[in-house]
A and B are shown apart, each in its own frame.
Chain A
């Protein structure tokens, strides 16, 4: 199992090579399911890094609608498996008007159109895109 230390740009490049065009049906910021798991399905169509921020571009698997972006600040611990992509830690993750972040790694905060709250990080990954 390779253990490579990568910059956000290198991670973007690697995900472009190994996860591009993969479909995923669950999107979680730590344990927050941003969309109902496996109700919809999305496909990764681009990866891009801007400084310490990794942008993952996606479209609905049906091909309908516009592209969207999941942004991950300070991603670390990227894992690919047959069940999808996880990023172990991040400072902040955002998709549309949903956002989650951690300041000390023990709690993560969630901000949605319904408000803001905080939960224990525990053993949760900062981002999960589950196939």
Chain B
């Protein structure tokens, strides 16, 4: 009989290590694109915890964001997410149209550039369809520069698939969007489109 050891550790070791890895938003300022549309929350704001920084901020090589601001949206803004399309479902029958990771910058350029800019492993997302939803006034989310992703994290058997951290293209983390229908509002997926691989701003012909 193989044995298993159980250690009940009720401390906050992992959370502490993640926070020390860069959750503190040293030197970050609200991006110009969001000026007048969002305000930065401080840790003493009652809504601060709703952004779930501990889920968004990750150590180097593990994706997510390297550090983050918690913001409250003060004016409805569009947010964008690439996904696998309505016909591709996981083993449980779900699509990946809704998820935690979004961008507030309007997408453009080739799919491969978007994948690199937003550090998205091929195993995680085909990036074939575009959804545009609305982050509503009052929503509380985390935003920050993308963290790097290593080949191991991607599970890339060639060891070559890696993405550098990106200070330019910030990510938007919406924690558990399916449970926040008043904060993230999406149209029917019939309004989404299959992207052209050379320019994701356009639908494939």
Q: Which chain A residues have a beta carbon within 8 Å of chain B's beta carbons?
A: 1-8, 10-11, 14, 18, 25, 29-41, 52, 54, 59-62, 64-68, 74-84, 87-88, 96-98, 110, 112-117, 119, 130-131
Contacts and interface: CB of A to CB of B under 8 A. Distances in A.
Interface residues of B, number: 55
A95 B155 CA distance: 13
B155 A110 contact: yes
B114 to A, nearest CB: 14
- Chief secondary structure at chain B's binding surface: loop
B15 interface: yes
B93 A39 contact: no
A109 to B, nearest CB: 9
A32 B152 contact: yes
Interface string B12-47: 111100100000000000000000000000000000
A68 B91 contact: yes
Interface string B155-182: 1111100000000000001011011000
Interface in B133-164: 150, 152-159
A82 B156 contact: no
B121 A117 contact: no
A116 B154 CA distance: 12
A75 to B, nearest CB: 5
Contact of A40 (B3, B100, B150): B100
Contacts of B179: 61-62
A115 B157 contact: yes
Given A33-B121, A117-B156, A65 B6 contact: no
27 contacts: A7-B4, A31-B152, A32-B152, A36-B124, A37-B58, A37-B64, A52-B2, A59-B92, A61-B176, A62-B98, A62-B178, A64-B93, A64-B178, A65-B94, A66-B91, A66-B93, A74-B2, A77-B4, A78-B6, A80-B8, A82-B10, A82-B11, A88-B5, A98-B123, A113-B123, A114-B156, A130-B14
Nearest to A26: B55
Contacts of B61: 31
Contact of B4 (A35, A61, A78, A117): A78
Q: Which of A1, A30, A38 has the most CB of B within 10 A?
A: A38
A87 B156 CA distance: 22
Contact of B8 (A2, A32, A64): A2
Contacts of B1: 7, 52
A80 B14 CA distance: 11
A110 B161 CA distance: 14
B111 to A, nearest CB: 16
